[in-house]
Amino acid sequence: MTPRWSISLRLAAWFGGIFFVGWLLFGTAMWWDLKATLVSERYGTLSRREHRLEGLLTSTRDESQTARAQKVIEFAGATGHGLSEVLNAATGENRFPPATAARQFPWPSLHSFGSETFEQVSWSGDEYWVLGRPFSLGQENLYLLAAAPEAGNDLVLGHFLTILLASIPVLLLVSSVGGYFLSRRALLPVDRITAKARSISITNLSERLPVSPTGDELERLAETCNDMLARLETAVNRIRQFTADASHDLRGPISFVRTVAEVALRSQQADADSRQAFTEIVEESAKASVLLEDMLTLARADADRAAAALAPLDLSAIVAETCEMARPLAADRSHILSVVLPGQPSVMVLGDFASLRRLFWILLDNAFKYTPSPGRIDVTLSRSDCEATVMVRDNGIGIRKEDLPRIFDRFYRTDPSRGQLEGSGLGLAIAKWIAEMHGAELSVASEEHAGTAFGVTFPLYSD
């Protein structure tokens, strides 16, 4: 089966994923916004440079060509590493001799000198921004060019991208941990509801799930589940009451039928066929009486009316007495019954003598039924520092692995080979109830065609 993530982990993954996508979109938008801002800044720098160049040309218009050319070259070297040119707008030729850097620079080819241009060119492996702008000086139309490298912008963008990528793992971790923490807090009522729901069984249907007054879906879910438990409790109580009443009321008619059949068997006028019929009636009535007694016992157990007063008892004596009662039955079925009990001191437990004897009798009877003759049944009682264990082990037909979890269910019968034997399917359910009433644990281990072992572990009694 494919392992499934918990809701908390899935929500944490969703929070982290959504945050990652959001951060990616936000970072991309910020990167483009920063790039646009830097390009705008570069445009502003070049624009201011050309305004200063315009001022220089205007202030030196009355000077000689040589003097003006020298000042233009000095301006270009001081402001843009020589990357400035002044062109004649009519011919596209240099108005003043350009600096060395300007002569080597790949200025873009301009088809019109009448409008402003701002574009990017490559030079020596670097990117440059070039701003071209028309300028009129009296009757003379000029075109000013200025260039600046993109390297500074690339450095800022690269640094921003590095910080953005480096922050992603940290922010993912923070968002995932935060999402998991918040989801765990939000789902804490679900854990409480789950734990309580698992503790509710057929024996404690009166308990209810905790309801947090939050006014949300979880509160409505808990209230709905509690309403369902109330309906189940009512239905189960009706079934229990019906079982108890029916078991009690049927005892009289079945006892009457059995008595009448026994009386008829003593009649000298009954023929052979009638005697056979009356004998079968007596046998079936006896079986029905046992079934009704078992049903009545479980009904009383469900209603907590059969809780016995527990007293200190010697477990060894109860096991020994029950085994002695079972020896005639074992001999009748050609079974070997082996009993191993500890010596002194006594194994003391809190219990009810009659109930414990019935528990061990059910386990022995079960072993006798499902062990082909001749068979062997071993009963051992062992003790440790704080508990004692009674084991009833046989070498019978065993129980299939898929049947083991349900053998203590009421009326449950296993495979057909076991179902051919007599029994109501209530014995082990009664045994389990008696064990629970004594605070003991009833367990089973079995291998098909190899045998079955039932173990009952009791807490020891200490003064």
Quote the distance between the C-alpha of residue 126 and its chain's center: 56
pLDDT at 420 over 50: no
As a whole-number percent, the residues of the chain with pLDDT over 70 amount to: 86
Domains delineated in the chain: 7-156 (3.30.450.20), 217-302 (1.10.287), 311-459 (3.30.565.10)
Number of neighbouring beta carbons within 10 Å of residue 281:
17
Give tens-digit pLDDT for 218-249: 788 888 888 988 888 888 777 767 666 665 56
Q: Tell me the average pLDDT across 156-170.
A: 85
Is residue 444 classed as helix, strand or coil in its secondary structure? strand
pLDDT at 52 over 70: yes
Identify the helix (H) or strand (E) that includes residue 101.
helix 100-104
Q: Tell me the average pLDDT across 187-207.
A: 79
User: What is the distance between the alpha carbons of residues 292 and 410, in angstroms, rounded to a whole number?
Assistant: 13
Quote the distance between the C-alpha of residue 402 and its chain's center: 26
| DSSP E strands, 140-205 | 140-149
Give all strands of the β-sheet with 441-447 in edge-to-edge order.
Answer: 336-340, 376-383, 387-394, 451-459, 441-447
pLDDT band at residue 378 using 50, 70 and 90 as cut-offs:
very high
pLDDT of the residue at 323: 93
Nearest to 379 by CA among 453, 461, 445: 453
Nearest to 134 by CA among 152, 110, 154: 110
pLDDT band at residue 153 using 50, 70 and 90 as cut-offs:
confident
Choose between 258 and 131: higher pLDDT: 131
The 3-class SS string of 188-234 reads HHHHHHHHHHHHCCCCCCCCCCCCCCCCCHHHHHHHHHHHHHHHHHH
| Average pLDDT score, the chain | 82
Sign of the C-alpha dihedral, residues 87, 88, 90, 92?
Answer: negative
Give tens-digit pLDDT for 296-339: 666 666 665 445 678 899 999 999 999 999 999 899 999 999 99
Question: Can you tell me which residue has the tokens 């929070």?
Answer: 15
Is residue 447 classed as helix, strand or coil in its secondary structure? strand
pLDDT at 165 over 70: yes
pLDDT at 422 over 60: no
pLDDT of the residue at 281: 81
Residue 372 · residue 421 · CB < 8 Å: no
pLDDT at 391 over 90: yes
- Tell me the helix, strand and coil percentages in the chain, rounded to 5: 55, 15, 25
pTM for the whole structure: 0.50
Nearest to 392 by CA among 343, 348, 353, 431: 431
Sign of the C-alpha dihedral, residues 51, 54, 58, 59?
Answer: positive
As a whole-number percent, the residues of the chain with pLDDT over 90 amount to: 20
Identify the helix (H) or strand (E) that includes residue 338.
strand 336-340
Residue 73 · residue 86 · CB < 8 Å: no
Give tens-digit pLDDT for 72-125: 888 888 887 888 889 888 888 888 888 888 888 888 887 777 788 999 899 888
pLDDT of the residue at 22: 85
Give tens-digit pLDDT for 12-33: 777 778 878 888 888 889 989 9
pLDDT at 418 over 50: no
User: What is the distance between the alpha carbons of residues 350 and 257, in angstroms, rounded to a whole number?
Assistant: 40
Q: How many residues belong to the chain?
A: 463
Residue 234 · residue 241 · CB < 8 Å: no
pLDDT of the residue at 305: 47
pLDDT of the residue at 456: 94
Cα→Cα distances 161→37, 151, 152, Å: 15, 15, 14
> Angle 277-278-284 (CA atoms, 0-180°, nearest 5)?
90
